[in-house]
Structure 1
Amino acid sequence: MQSQTAVSSVVSLPNAENDALAALLTRQRAAFNARGEPSSLDERKQVLKALLDALLARRFDLAEAMRLDFGGRAPQESLLELFVVIDDLRHALSHLERWMRTRRVAANWQFRPSRARLMPQPLGVVGVIGAYNYPVMTTLSPVVGALAAGNHVMMKPSSLTPKTSELMREIISGLFAEDHVAVVTGDSSIAKRFSKLAFDHLVFTGSTRVGKLVMRDAAENLVPVTLELGGKCPAIVGDDFDIKAAAETIVQSKLMNAGQTCVASDYALVPESRATEFLEHARAAIRRYYPSLVVNPDYGRVLMRSDWERLDKWVREARDKGASVETFNPAVETCNADNRVFPPTLVSRCPRDTALGSEEIFGPVLPVMTYRTLDDAIAQVNAGERPLALYYFGHRRGDVDKVLRRTISGGVSINGCGYHAIQHNLPFGGIGASGIGAYRGRSGFERFSHIKPVLYMSPLTKAGVLLRPPFGVLAAWILGFMLHNRPTREKL
């Protein structure tokens, strides 16, 4: 799908002094304004369908690029990442006509028979900064919502996954003109300049620390932001739930993509009386899932050497402070910072004043904490920052409702981990330190739209006319009726 002008090369900036970013934004805004009115339903469907077809055609190439960037990653995990974007595209194509409709809403009774409407309109140019852990999904999922809403888009994939970013650049440049959808490549200095541009909206996925910097940069131009961050996502196991099923589900969630998932179970909270049993089943699950590590295509690598070293430091700190650490390396392979294979690790009796106990782990290390009562578990969760996700395993309705009412998190899954984040009708986003704003499905369309309120005043609506100065007795009666909702004269 080509947009209005011919395809040009995708922007690749060699240094932070290059002003091509600002020029690209100017061209995109000019192209958006040149449309005169928002793109039609058919035009938007063409754009989404072209992207859908291209991702399906290049799915194995993208999976291979991610494997090379990570130094080892299961193609099944990469295809699951692609599925999220492809499913978003299909859902948008099926529902876009309804989302784009102007909706009727009721006018205040004092102004009837005037009519009120809500009209979705695109914002203009949306900037998207993706993350390295899921480089395709974190970049393209918000792009789906932005394009469905009729915007032009500038994308900045992670520089830490260069092969995947380059392949996305190639795919996008073959589909769209640069003044419609563009991919910007470059290192962190380019990302810094990107976050300072005067977009109509900016989406960032990454750490809370960097999210604060992005928000500060965007504030210079009063750019509204959507921040998808992270935090310590707890998995609480109720005392009435199958402990084996809970352990297997939590371990699977934790170890997918070598723990580099923002909605992964950061730590488990299990009843004190069942901690030993939980650990037994967690050990068995790890050994069954990953009989080997280095030569196992199903076991991923942490992307950066610095992350491997950070995880190793944090585990050693917890051990030094009295935690029990179990490392799983069934085939007795060499796992080190050079090959970036960090073995699955269970940490019990982990003190809260350690990095593992207080910071988002983002790696294949699972602390197992204990609680005595459900109120105690809730108090432990609420003692920290609000997480991006929370998981509760239990069947008693009263306990489930208590957890839902008394904890605050970006999203929740009951008796499962993670999949609430890819439901079309559930907005995905954080709260507080775990993020600002949400998207997915209609929520994404509306996030990247201005829902413009319109009032059609009826000539029969006399409230405004009758309240014109000079004010008299009639105005006093009208104000009295409006203020008190009954016939009365307001004393003025």
Structure 2
Amino acid sequence: MNTAAPAFTDADLSAEQLQGLLTAQRTSYSKRPMPSVGERKANLQRLKSMLIKHQDALMDAMTADFSARSRHEMKLAEILSMTEMVDYLCKRLAKWMKPEKRHLALHMQPGKARVYYQPLGVIGIMVPFNYPLFLALGPLATTLAAGNHAMIKMPEATPATSALLAELIADTFTADHVTVVNGGPAVAALFSALPFDHILFTGAGSIGKHVMRAAAENLTPVTLELGGKSPVIVADDFDIEEAARRLCFSKSMNAGQTCVAPDYIFLPRRKLDAFKAAYKKAFNAFYPTVNNNPDVTAVISDRHNQRLQGWVKEAQEQGALVEPVTDEVVTDGTRRTVTQLVTNVTRDMTLMKEEIFGPVLPLLTYDSLDEVIRYVNEGDRPLALYYFGFDKAQQQRVLDETHSGAVVFNETMFHVAVDDLPFGGIGPSGMGQYHGKEGFLTFSKPKSVLYKPRFNGMKMLYPPYGGLVDKVLGFLIGK
């Protein structure tokens, strides 16, 4: 298969062509509006087989797009996460699809109340560049589990991956069931304006606003996964070297280009220097060299690299101190970048206002948990919040007194890989969720159904009122 990167342009697909794809999917869906559990599992297994069969080609394409990407990271975050998700969905699908019994009040008897989970129809999935495989196929798997059809808009920043996935999907599913759309920003704008039955967008909040605005024209419901600045709090009772190792691993994964990556870290004031030394030690143990190291992933593009370095330079000019974790200079022709630790930062720096999404890590100090909670709550509600410490009372304070899409204790990021947990943000970090059972519910309509038998017990409440009706109402109200 050809993995060469095509030149995506905004003229790739017109509004009429996109509408034609959607119309074909709607027509196809109308012929099988409630696929059986067997059909849904078969679709999921086809997706899994496609992924396993072509994993090497897909990883080659992602490596070409990034200029350098760790194969082990791709296997863990893009391949294994997907195969486990499919297995999880297949195991639980029959139970989720079963109509749920609901309570029926005495005066409504006899009868039955049920909730019937029906597919929504056609789902639009908009994918970011950072995990182009998992963030395309993960939502697709949940969409298929819920019995829907799907159109996927792949990112223009990963042209090789996007082109290959379009080819593989076309070989695996009919275009009126699942199809991939490629193109530039104008195509993305047209895509978000289509009258889907639901849109799932993963990406920057600035773009999410445009997607939501376009969807509103069609009253299309949206799920937005937007990221944000996910803070880390390291408590005094957590070993500082162990904290550095765990945080270095998660921040280095995918060069920090993860929506739930640690964005900034709060440390006990007296442990700042120890943490910096431990972090550098951990990084150099993980990555003895950066140049030509197949374990080190690169920043996606020169533009993103320039953005990061511009923010770091601006922070330095405003008084921040910057320390690379190694003195090595990258000269291998890739966009591999040495992680930079930044201290003496202030809230008005761009670095502390915008999601970093790269190998730059601000470090802040604190004297009490009160000031940390206040700082976090004064900012936008994050996608995730991480607390390293074992004091149960302090953990509970973090849970009770902060808002975030998720809280993880003594680890970072890997709640995303827990299939049975919902994943989603709150406020500026997103709305809705699409993992686990909650994902199945997101892409389903919980239809209320009331069954009544031949015997009509309600006739006791028919007019003319008075007499028996009053006695029945008095009994029901006063019971």
Q: TM-score, normalised by structure 2?
A: 0.94
Matches within 5 A, 1:245-394: 245-334=242-331, 339-394=334-389
The one-letter amino acid paired with 2:382 is: P
Give the corresponding residue for 1:21.
18
What SS does the corresponding residue of 2:172 show, helix, strand or coil?
coil
Q: CA deviation at 1:459?
A: 5.3
Query: How many correspondences in the alignment?
Result: 471
**SS of residue matched to 1:248:** helix
On the 8 A contact 1:114/1:461 being kept in 2, the answer is no
**Whole-angstrom CA distance in 1 between matches of 2:298 and 2:43:** 35
| CA offsets 1:430-487 (integer angstroms, 9 cap, x no match) | 111111110112222111111111112355663x4333333334444444444x433x
In 2, Cα distance between equivalents of 1:331 and 1:347 = 17
Which residue of 216, 220, 230 maps to 2:217? 220
In structure 2, how many angstroms separate the alpha carbons of the residues matched to 1:275 and 1:478?
A: 72
> Cα 1:17–1:170, aligned 2, differ >3 Å: closer, same or farther?
closer
The equivalent of 2:51 in structure 1 is: 55
Q: Distance in 2 between matches of 1:445 and 1:408?
A: 24
| Aligned equivalent of 2:422 | 427
Describe the superposition over 1:297-350 as per-residue Cα deviations: whole angstroms up to 9, x where unpaired.
211111121111111111111111221110234433348xx8433321001121
Instruction: Quote the residue 2:5 is aligned against.
Output: none
Counterparts of residues 107-186 of structure 1 (less than 5 Å) = 107-186=104-183
Deviates more, 1:270-279 or 1:225-234: 270-279
Q: Which amino acid aligns with 2:464?
A: P
Aligned pair partner of 1:190 in 187, 190, 198: 187
CA offsets 1:125-145 (integer angstroms, 9 cap, x no match) = 111011100000111101001
AA aligned to 1:247 is A
Q: Does 1:468 pair with 2:465? A: no
Question: Is the Cα contact below 8 Å between 1:293 and 1:329 reproduced in 2?
Answer: no
CA shift for structure 1 position 409: 0.6
The whole-number CA distance in structure 2 between the counterparts of 1:169 and 1:447 is: 25
Which amino acid in 2 is paired with 1:434?
S
Query: Residues of 1 paired with 2:261 and 2:94: CA distance?
Result: 34
The CA deviation string for residues 146-192 of structure 1, in whole angstroms up to 9 with x for no partner, is: 10111111111111101111111111111111101111111111111
RMSD (Å), alpha carbons:
1.8
Deviations 1:191-237 (A, max 9, x none): 11010001111111000110111011111100011111100001111
Select 1:39's aligned residue among 35, 40, 59.
35
Aligned twin of 1:447: 442
CA contact (8 A) 2:68 2:294 kept: yes
Equivalent AA in structure 2 for residue 485 of structure 1: G
**Paired residues of 2:12 and 2:182 also in contact (CA < 8 A):** no
Deviation for aligned residue 1:68: 0.5
Deviations 1:66-100 (A, max 9, x none): 10000000011111122111111111111211121
SS in 1 for 2:357: coil
- Tell me the amino acid that sits aligned with residue 404 of structure 1: L
Q: 1:5 matched to which residue of 2?
A: none
1:236-293 CA-partner distances (Å, limit 9, x unpaired): 1111111111111112111111110000000111111222221121121122222222
Aligned partner of 2:83 in structure 1 is 86
- Higher mean C-alpha deviation, range 440-449 or range 400-409: 440-449
Match of 1:64 in 2: 60
1:391-446 Cα offsets, whole Å, 9 max, x none, are 11111111111111111111111110111112111001111111111011222211
Instruction: Check the 8 A contact 1:291/1:331 in 2, yes or no.
Output: no
- Measured in 2, the distance between the counterparts of 1:340 and 1:457 equals 66
Report the AA paired with residue 396 of structure 2: D
Name the amino acid aligned to 1:343: V
1:402 aligns with 2:397: yes
Cα contact 2:383–2:430 (8 A) shared by 1: yes
- The unaligned stretches of length 5 or more in structure 2 are 1-7
Aligned-partner Cα distance in 1 for 2:342–2:435: 35
**Secondary structure at 2:463 match in 1:** coil
Q: Tell me, in whole angstroms, the C-alpha distance in 2 between the residues paired with 1:38 and 1:170.
A: 27
Check if 1:485 corresponds to 2:478: yes
In 2, Cα distance between equivalents of 1:435 and 1:133 = 17
The answer to whether the Cα contact below 8 Å between 2:15 and 2:190 also exists between their aligned partners in 1 is: no
Distance in 2, Cα, partners of 1:221 & 1:41: 30
Separation in 1 of the partners of 2:118 and 2:148? 9
Find the counterpart in structure 2 of residue 30 from structure 1. Answer: 27
Distance 2:438 2:305 in 1: 36
- The TM-score with structure 1 as length reference comes to 0.92
- Distance in 2 between residues matched to 1:252 and 1:38, nearest whole Å: 44
Secondary structure at the counterpart of residue 87 of structure 1: helix
Q: Give the whole-Å Cα distance in 2 for the aligned partners of 1:356 and 1:466.
A: 69
Query: Partner residue of 1:7?
Result: none
Partners of 1:98 and 1:197 in 2: how far apart?
A: 32
Label 1:85 to 1:321 Cα distance change in 2 as closer, same or farther (>3 A). Answer: same
Quick one: which amino acid aligns to residue 386 of structure 1? R
SS of structure 2 residue aligned to 1:429? coil
Residues 315 and 356 in structure 1, CA contact (< 8 A), matched pair in contact too: yes
Could you tell me which amino acid in structure 2 is paired with residue 59 of structure 1?
A: Q
CA distance in 2, matches of 1:314, 1:354: 8
Amino acid at match of 2:364: M
